[in-house]
Structure 1
Amino acid sequence: MPIEHTKRKSVLASLVALAICGATVAQAAGQADQSNQSSQADTSSKPAQSATRRVSDALAVVRQLEAEPRVKQLLQQAKGVLIVPSYGRAALGVGAHGGAGLLLLKRTDGSWSGPAFYDLGGLTVGLQVGAEGGAIAMVLNNDKAVAEFMKKNNFALSAEAGLTVVNWSKLAQGTAGTGDVVAWSGTKGLFGDAVAIGLNDIRFNQNLTNAYYGRTLSPKDIAAGTVSNPQAQPLQQALGEASTITK
């Protein structure tokens, strides 16, 4: 066989091998890119799913609040409410050492804003002996209390912050509404016998809020009522019903 012919066959075989190798690499790169995109999609969807779950859990808490006539009285005059579906030992692992909550503010027409998401620190009275934690709600009675939430990070609802936070279970029938904030608990004994309590190290959860609304927002943006998420409507409507003055 002529040498030239042998060389041509060798070169042709090398080119075919390179082509096959290139196709294999391209296919592997494509698969890796698809896998990476899928992984990114899964990661980005997790905060939105977590936020949606919090809203759903908060709805159950509002149903509890609605069953309390005195709490309904508070909500009728309230400027806002911080709902914490699970606080304390039962909430460990949520992402904060106290729990996770969401804030809704009452508009001038009596309707409620969409939720803004927060992570919470500790109660100044701590969990009482035997209390495993549970749902709590902080009813904000005035603009002074609401203003704390516009600070976004590391603020408190406490005497140190210039706010009176009253234990709901210690309110007399005729003193509903006393204090800047009234703290309600769905767990008997969670606040113990303390008349005044506090909640420290409250932080705005930017990641969950952005994921829930699909854009970057501040607490003030949500307070202005210019954004919405249809998934929050059941919660907003339930709060509207709970805060409606009944004759």
Structure 2
Amino acid sequence: MLKKLMILAASICMASQVNAASSRQDLQDRVDAAKAVLDQIMTAGDKGIPLGILQQATCVAVVPGMIKGAFVFGAQYGQGVVTCRTGHGWSAPVFIRLAGGSWGLQIGGQSTDLVLVAVNEKGFQDLLKNKFKIGANASAAAGPVGRNGEASTDWKMSAELLTYSRTKGLFAGIDLDGTSISQNNTDTDTYYGQEYPFQTVLKGNVAVPQDSVAFVQTVAHYFIEAKNQ
């Protein structure tokens, strides 16, 4: 009975966040926070994402402040932004949701920044889906960290997405199996002031809004830096 009550309470809490409407300013704050997270990670010297991985990137997703909480039943929920590489640069951003849960003897809560890097065409196609689950519908691996981290793993053979987390300043690869990623069409439409399919935006057929140029340029900067290393 207690287990059911805990699951119900966590579900209600998560549902309230999912259904809460975001204003245009809320979404701009999310885009700005994503840029800040990426800058902080990539300027962390030998503790950031290896440049060799960014050379392979087809899309980059940043989820600032994903909330993880637990009281026996664990739940996690976050909202983020995605940009993908196109034939003429990086795309305008779209908005996504991440949600997952776990059961175990646990208590506490924390806020975690997440970065997901799609490293091939399959990873790009995953992000065009309305919803998919890591580990079931898309293969992912905890991404290596450090300037030469990409040399010690077989991620090129097995993963479509590389996943990272940063909690309290500690940056590392993370296992996100069981986490669902879904398109946030409502937020995307609110940000652009009209309806755009994810595929249209991520394939570069929508101009980058002035307010999100800084985020997109930040992703492009680190991608070009990786290519030129």
Q: Could you state the TM-score of these two structures normalised by the residue count of structure 2?
A: 0.71
Task: Tell me which protein shows more strand as a share of its residues.
Answer: 2
Per-residue Cα deviation, 1:14-56 (whole angstroms, up to 9, x for no partner): xxxxxxxxxxxxxxxxxxxxxxxxxxxxxxx952111111101
* Residues 1:232 and 2:216 aligned together: no
Report if aligned partners of 1:165, 1:181 keep a CA contact under 8 Å in 2.
yes
Q: Could you state the TM-score of these two structures normalised by the residue count of structure 1?
A: 0.66
Query: How many residues are treated as equivalent by the alignment?
Result: 192
Alignment-derived partner of residue 57 in structure 2 = 78
Alignment of 1:192-231 (within 5 A): 196-198=175-177, 200-227=179-206, 228-231=208-211
* Residues 1:166 and 2:141 aligned together: yes
Alignment of 1:18-33 (within 5 A): none
* Deviation of the 1:69 alpha carbon: 5.4
* Residues 1:148 and 2:120 aligned together: no
Cα distance in 1, alignment partners of residues 143 and 187 from structure 2: 29
* Deviation of the 1:61 alpha carbon: 1.3
Alignment-derived partner of residue 162 in structure 2 = 182
After superposition, the Cα gap between the structure-2 partners of 1:82 and 1:193, relative to the gap in structure 1 and judged at 3 Å, is closer
**Mind listing any 5+ residue stretches in structure 2 that lack a counterpart?**
1-20, 70-74
Larger RCO: 1 or 2 (CA < 8 Å, sep 6+): 2
Give the one of 215, 221, 226 matched to 1:241.
Answer: 221
Cα distance in 2, alignment partners of residues 46 and 238 from structure 1: 24
- Which structure has the greater CA radius of gyration? 1
* Residues 1:100 and 2:75 aligned together: no
* Deviation of the 1:198 alpha carbon: 2.2
After superposition, the Cα gap between the structure-2 partners of 1:65 and 1:144, relative to the gap in structure 1 and judged at 3 Å, is same
After superposition, the Cα gap between the structure-2 partners of 1:168 and 1:129, relative to the gap in structure 1 and judged at 3 Å, is farther
Q: Give the secondary structure class of the aligned counterpart of 1:88.
A: strand
Alignment-derived partner of residue 119 in structure 1 = 97
**Mind listing any 5+ residue stretches in structure 1 that lack a counterpart?**
1-44, 91-95
Per-residue Cα deviation, 1:71-90 (whole angstroms, up to 9, x for no partner): 33212210001110111238
* Deviation of the 1:205 alpha carbon: 1.3
